[in-house]
């Protein structure tokens, strides 16, 4: 089920608060007035940002202008990314771009013209139903605390070598041989099920000393 159905009632209420408003009491003046409300922005972690905004944050073009993107050994083996960051668009330009998109994600995404080459739009966000949404300079913010926790958990699990909680598994290492240029982590035919230790992973002796 799409998360859109959970947001429809919120959008309906926000539209009412913007167009009609709600009676509010001003205690300092001891009088009642009609208060109108606008949603300024959302705060999400990265996956939720992708769902709310309608732009896929996974894989290609999720972060096209990262400096490591241009290093042959940092990402794809023997390839250098040459794409630059997407231009900063106005709210009106973004709205015009997504206007023809479906309000729900259509699969397969690659059937959409230009997907992964010119854009990563997956749908038209429900927030565009708010008539003032395009006038905001910032519409979505990243939840730094949530992201920091996820990053910390992943780093901690790798350093402590906590099995079943890290994404470093046999399949990932097999892909590593073909995609990335990190020979120190590659698996070899003579020991097909043995994964070389990551340099940052603590040994049992290190853990005991802690």
Model pLDDT, residue 22: 95
Candidates 77, 100, 52; CA nearest to 178 is 77
Handedness of CA 113, 117, 118, 121 (dihedral sign): positive
Structure-block tokens of residue 50: 């992708």
pLDDT band at 77 (very low <50, low <70, confident <90, very high): low
Classify 35 in phi/psi space as left (phi over 0), alpha (psi -120 to 50) or beta: beta
Considering the chain, what percentage of its residues have pLDDT values greater than 90? 23
| Beta pairing class for 140-142 and 42-44 | parallel
Structure confidence by residue, pLDDT tens digits, 13-57 = 999 999 999 999 999 999 999 999 999 999 988 888 888 888 887
Q: Where are the domains of the chain?
A: 145-210
pLDDT band at 123 (very low <50, low <70, confident <90, very high): confident
Q: What is the mean pLDDT of residues 105-122?
A: 74
């Amino acid at each position: 089920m799409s998360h859109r159905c959970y947001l429809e009632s919120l959008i309906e209420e926000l539209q009412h608060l913007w167009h009609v408003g709600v009676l509010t009491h001003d205690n300092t003046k001891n009088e009642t007035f009609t208060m109108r409300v606008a949603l300024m922005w959302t705060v999400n972690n990265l996956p939720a940002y992708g769902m709310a905004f309608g732009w896929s944050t996974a894989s290609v073009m999720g972060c096209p202008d990262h400096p490591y993107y241009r290093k042959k050994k940092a990402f794809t083996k023997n390839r250098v990314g040459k794409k630059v960051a997407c231009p900063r668009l106005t709210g009106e330009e973004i709205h015009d771009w997504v206007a023809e998109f479906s309000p729900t994600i259509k699969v397969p995404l690659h059937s959409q013209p230009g997907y992964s080459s010119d854009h990563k739009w997956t749908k038209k966000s429900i927030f565009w139903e708010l008539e003032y949404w395009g006038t905001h300079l910032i519409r979505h913010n990243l939840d730094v605390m949530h992201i920091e926790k996820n990053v910390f958990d992943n780093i901690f699990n790798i350093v402590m070598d906590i099995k079943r909680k890290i994404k470093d598994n046999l399949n990932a290492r097999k892909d590593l041989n073909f995609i990335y240029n990190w020979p120190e982590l590659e698996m070899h035919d003579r020991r097909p099920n043995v994964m070389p230790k990551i340099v940052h992973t603590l040994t049992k002796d290190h853990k005991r000393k802690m």
